[in-house]
Chain A
Amino acid sequence: MIKFWKKRIQNKLLTEHLTHDKTLSTLQKELKSSIAKQFASSLNIRMVDSGSCNACESECNALSNPYYNLERLGIQFVASPRHADVLLVSGVNTFNMHPHLLDAYAQMPSPKYVITIGDCPLTETSVYEDSFAIVGDVAKHLPVAHHISGCPPSPDEIIVGLLEFLKGLDKS
């Protein structure tokens, strides 16, 4: 254990992009609706891969590494749609995943929101063409509140996207 603590002290604080903390605390003050206020201090996300290449998932996993340390902002990924406020959807929405995606959304308690991530969920930006195996455009089947673009978006872009989503909550 001594090895570990020595290393911890040597490493110091690794978290980057500390400006996000400020953005969030201003947001918490400025947001008016009570739901938005609560979400801005605790947002639970359930990620569903509807047919991606796993790069978006890899970047979402990277969000919890010490450089990005997403959980400090009160945003965390949860294990069940029943614990979630946000359904984060990646991938092209395949024929075989489509019913399960709708299922996951139906299992979430209200108020609930859908955020799409990556270029795949939008037909215009997806590298995949329309095909028999792809249902496509998530926004046609679920009420998408926000989209985080990029192929894949970098962890920092994802954090910025999530904060933007929180900002927009007051308007909706």
Chain B
Amino acid sequence: MRFQFVLGEVFSGLRRNTTMVVAVVLVTFVSLTFVGAAALLQAQISKLKDDWYDLVEVSVFLCPEGSVAPTCAGGEATDAQVDAVRQIIDTELTDEVSKVYFESKEQAFEAFSERYPDGYQGTQLTADDMQASLRLKLSDAEQFAVVSDVLSGRDGVEIVEDQRAVFEPLFRTLNVATLLAAGLAGVMLLAAVLLITTTIRLSAVSRRKETEIMRLVGASNLFIQLPFLLEGALAAVLGSLLAGGGLWLAVRFMVSDWLERSVDWVAYVSEVDVLRVAPLLVIMAVALAALSSFFTLNRYTRI
């Protein structure tokens, strides 16, 4: 097979069809940028989770005096009840919980005073206003539901709280943004497939005479179709490279140069993450082109 000849056909096809090829490049560019943005958002979320989930614990708040929870009918949690709960954690939750410590009311008050040395909003609190709790460090933060199921409803336990819940609104927002980007990407990808299909069809029609002669003199199917395949693939890959480049610039200038300086206590996605996503975009572009070609070519360049 003469590679040079095929390449020549590809470039003459691209030249003849410039406007359509540009359209394909732009549409794949935009659609894959959305795909990449969705991927980077997810990368950002997992980065934040890695960072923050290590800092948070599950708090098992023990019954204070005067609680109305049904498990607190016996008044303030007794030492026996606390021991029973610890026993359960040690036996039933050995896999999920990696560390347990008890925070007494006094310790809670100390921590509170440290954070609010002048009292909280003008009130004067004492250690008795605090609530004792068991602090659990989970080996896997995702296991909260299991822990909560086991411990809730035990005598002396008022409520089991996951400090992760604090981050939920933020993560939910990011997830919604991901969905939005992915949805837009889906629509744009559909447009890209249709456009590539049309481009290949136009190219095939404009070269009908050539393909007719090629068929008659016994050129193989692959040889006839390869230029069209490569044309579509080349345009799509070019679009994906632009998308990768665009994302890289966005992360470089908007995240690394600006966000990281203004809000510096958060771990952000970096150019490395873009480099990790970019190959996937190229693969997607090739898949897109292959899919479109598959639908078109057998109809227009049949032997």
Do the two chains belong together in a single complex? no
- Chain A residues with CB under 8 Å of chain B are none
- Chain B residues with CB under 8 Å of chain A are none
